[in-house]
Amino acid sequence: MSMVTNTLGRYFAGRFVVAAVGVFAGIFVLLVLVDYIEMVRKTSGLVSASAITVAETSLFRVPQLLEKLMPFCVLIGAMTCYLALSRRLELVVARAAGVSAWQFISPALASAILLGIFATTAYNPVSANLRELSKRMEAELFGSAPGGGIQDASGFWLNQINDEGQAIINAARSEQQGVRLTGLTVFRFDTTLQFKERIEAREAALEDGRWVFKSVRRFTLDKPPVDQDTFYLTTTLTPAQVRNSFSTPETVSFWQLPNYIRSSESSGFATAGYRLQYHKLIAQPFLLAAMVMLAASVSLRFFRMGGVQKMVLSGVGAGFLLYVLSKVTEDLSKAELMHPIAAAWLPVVVGSLTGFLALLYQEDG
């Protein structure tokens, strides 16, 4: 514990944090530029799309994507930190002074856990809110055309059945976890499942017992299209039920996930995705610590002994394999073939044990 709090420990911790934050900032800028170029391409034909609005939309979209890359940022940052310390012979001096590898790794481990706690409790809610804001801005950019604007057949789908018949709703974009939709196409059927009409609308909002559609155009088989400013569609769906179809667990902040899990359970919906996301966020600090262990196992070799390229490639390969393992366990959990707790913590355990055993073999073997 003294190594974590003394001057040398604070120095090692500071070097690691600076390296990890630097990698995070570099990837953030790169992703913003790439996403901005892609958004400029998509909005090139829209007169109302200003460069500032497009840039803000890209800026708000990236934090959630970068959250998934955070373990790799910590891995590359830790490798960069330890390779720089080794190249400048600072690790050699520390070893000569009687400091073991476990001692100068412990400050980075403590820092990684603190970064993980901050990412779970603060960064995740902010990124989820920014993603919702970016969806609203996308709706303003792409959903301003009459009749629903740009339709996306691979968007969100919802099926509802009530006394008036059946309605199949397709929305290009979803906001507020499905409470507000834009770019809509609705196929209505009567109680005998005979086609009744097709509705296109710019946006829709869920109110108590009904959907409220705006800028509507209604198509039937025997009449010309009819334009309406507002159209009401009766529904028995609740926000909790709509959320299950239009929201993804990644767009729900850490502090809201327990309520989402309880509401989905009370509505009879599957909660595996929400439970997995909740436990992944809880395990995130320890996953970042596992990445530090993996990075240390391939970065503590004396720099002048050579083989740096192989060490770096082996560290990146280990991180990639750990990512593949996390995706496999995630898919198994969403298919309800693996418990969410096991799916969230298995990559953490595998990564920690791999790094620990490698360091144990190198330092004490």
**Helical ranges in 143-253 per DSSP H:** 239-246
First to last CA, the chain: 24
Report pLDDT digits (tens) over 37-48.
888 888 877 766
Determine what percent of the chain falls in helix, strand and coil, rounding each to the nearest 5. 65, 15, 20
Q: How many CB atoms lie within 10 A of CB 304?
A: 10
> Does the structure show a pLDDT above 80 at 362?
no
Residue 254: name the closest of 364, 141, 116 by CA: 116
> Does the structure show a pLDDT above 80 at 128?
yes
> pLDDT-based confidence at 148, cuts 50/70/90?
very low
Identify the pLDDT of residue 25. 93
Identify the pLDDT of residue 305. 58
Question: Averaged over 207-211, what is the pLDDT?
Answer: 85
Owner of token pair 């499942």:
193
Owner of token pair 């009687």:
98
> Does the structure show a pLDDT above 90 at 116?
yes
Residue pair 119/67 in contact (Cβ under 8 Å)? The answer is yes
Identify the pLDDT of residue 312. 76
Question: Averaged over 204-208, what is the pLDDT?
Answer: 86
Say which residue, 249 or 230, is predicted with more confidence: 230
Task: State the number of CA atoms in the 13 A half-sphere of 9 facing the CB.
Answer: 15
Report pLDDT digits (tens) over 259-290.
878 776 765 566 778 888 899 999 999 999 99
Query: Inter-axis angle of helices 51-68 and 124-142, to 10 degrees?
Result: 140
Say which residue, 186 or 238, is predicted with more confidence: 186
User: Hey, which residues does 166 pair with through a beta bridge?
Assistant: 161, 189
Residues 6+ apart with CB under 8 A from 263: 240, 243
Residue pair 28/62 in contact (Cβ under 8 Å)? The answer is yes
CA distance 339 to 300: 36
Residue pair 166/189 in contact (Cβ under 8 Å)? The answer is yes
**For the chain, which residues make up each domain, given as ranges?**
1-143+268-362, 154-245
